[in-house]
Structure 1
Amino acid sequence: MLLSLSEEHRQHLAFLPQVDGSVVAEFGRIALEFLRRGASPKIYEGAARKLGVPVETVQHGVEGLMFLMMESAKHKISEVDFLDSLLVLGLGDDLNQTLLQLYLQHRADVCSILQQLSCSPPAYCDLHWRLDVQLASRGVRQQLIPRLMLSLQRTGGTGADVVLQADPPTLLHLVCTLEDALHAARSGRTRRFARSIK
């Protein structure tokens, strides 16, 4: 699989052939720190002073390199595909090899950082319920007011329990809506649509 690089991304990486290979390796280290801790304008200013270029040029170079490493690690691109993706940029063989070594060296780190940044949605784990009945109140003297208390336990996300309260009509409406959704999910139209997506 080859990476598709936008024109803006190519412009950001066009600065790399103008600098030494050790500077590219340093940009790779800065890009990895950017992924771990966020952007640091002081680092960009220091690098721009050393190279004698505007701060925006250094920032765009680091961000372009970071995007290249992230996309390559996310798609688990092989060495050959990585080099073929770089051919479009026309950076030169030495710089391509430097970027390949940078990618191979930091691929595991970038994958672990991306895994930490990804969020997993909460999933249903368990449900506990309790029926509360209020026998009377000052406003309503001779009427039972039942309420159902639900404690929904989740995994993933924050993992915190969610406590819900429902009266019988609301609960019946919820059950009817869920049954309608299950019926619609089992219909032939939904199965045809699911097959067309695969």
Structure 2
Amino acid sequence: MAVTLSADQKSHLALLLSQEHTVIGEFCRLGAQYLRKGVTPKVFNNAAAKLGVESSKVENAVHALIFLLLESIRTHTTITAFKETVLMLGFSEDTSELMSEFYSNSSDELQHYVQDMKVKVQQYHDLEWRFDIMADKRSIHNIAAPVITIGLHYYEDTSEKNVNMNNSSKRVLLQTDPNTLLFITEKLEEALQEVRSHNFRWLMKLDK
């Protein structure tokens, strides 16, 4: 599956089209460094000075390259398809081979980063609740204040392997009043309706 880049991303990568192999290799390593621990502006400035361009152009090129690599990993793009994508961007056969080799050698690290980027959502397991009345004997104007105590059980890791393990759920205690609970319930109902909408289903398809 070939990755689709925006016009701006293609424009940013154009900086690398005329560069030598050593420069392409440095940009690949710079992209890997950016993912591991970030890159300071000084690094971009030094690279820009060597190429005789603005620092922003170097930074944009690195960002576009990172997007190409991560999106290829996310969509399970094969090495052959990745090379075809790079060729279609205007890179030479030799440069495409070099970038494909970097993509292949870095696939495990890139996959790990893509996994870390995913939103981790807790999964509901069980719920307990208790309705209490807080009595105030000192004031006849505020005789009782209802309080709802909720014990929510959830799974921190939603992978099938860990969800099926015993004693893997966690518990959190919450307290609220009836009016606040009613407000929260209404908002959750609105969220459920939004999930069922056509626009949300369309966005979910784009994320697959």
Aligned residue for 1:164?
175
The within-5 A match list for 1:52-91 is 52-91=52-91
Aligned to 2:15: 15
In structure 2, distance between residues paired with 1:147 and 1:67: 50
User: For residues 57 and 144 of structure 1, what CA distance do their matches in structure 2 show?
Assistant: 66
CA contact (8 A) 2:12 2:60 kept: yes
TM-score, normalised to structure 1, is 0.74
Contact 1:153 1:162 survives alignment (8 Å):
no
* In 1, Cα distance between equivalents of 2:171 and 2:50: 50
SS at match of 1:15: helix
Q: Does 1:148 align with 2:159?
A: no
- The answer to which of 1-10 and 34-43 deviates more is 34-43
In structure 2, the partner of 1:51 is: 51
Equivalence for 2:160: none
Across the two proteins, how many residue pairs are aligned to each other? 182
Name the CA distance, whole Å, in 2 between partners of 1:2 and 1:162. Answer: 48
Alignment of 1:173-188 (within 5 A): none
Q: Return the letter of the residue paired with 1:165.
A: T
Q: Over residues 106-155 of structure 1, what are the superposed CA-to-partner deviations in whole Å (9 max), with x where a residue is unaligned?
A: 11111111212322122223323334233553334896655331122333
Structure 1 residue 30, shift from structure 2 partner: 0.9
Is 1:120–2:131 an aligned residue pair? no
| Residues 64-106 of structure 1 deviation map (CA, whole Å, 9 limit, x = unaligned) | 2111111111111012211222232121100110110111111
Q: Which residue number in structure 2 is paired with residue 105 of structure 1? A: 105
Query: Secondary structure of the equivalent of 1:147?
Result: strand
Q: Name the CA distance, whole Å, in 1 between partners of 2:142 and 2:54.
A: 80
Partners of 2:151 and 2:173 within 8 A in 1:
yes
Between the aligned residues of both structures, percent identity stands at 27
Q: 5+ residue gaps in structure 1?
A: none
**Structure 1 vs Structure 2 CA RMSD:** 3.3
Q: Distance in 1 between matches of 2:98 and 2:19?
A: 12
Runs of 4+ in 1 over 2 A off after TM superposition: 36-39, 49-54, 125-148, 153-157, 159-162, 164-167
Q: Distance in 1 between matches of 2:40 and 2:111?
A: 22
The question of whether the paired residues in 1 share the 8 Å contact of 2:13 and 2:64 is answered with yes
What TM-score, normalized by structure 2, do the two folds share? 0.71
Which residue number in structure 2 is paired with residue 93 of structure 1?
93
Specify every segment of 5 or more residues in structure 2 that has no aligned partner in the other structure, as ranges. Answer: 158-169
**Preserved contact between residue 151 and residue 171 of structure 2 (Cα < 8 Å):** no
Whose radius of gyration is greater, 1 or 2? 1
Checking the alignment, whether the CA contact within 8 Å between 1:31 and 1:62 is kept in structure 2 is yes
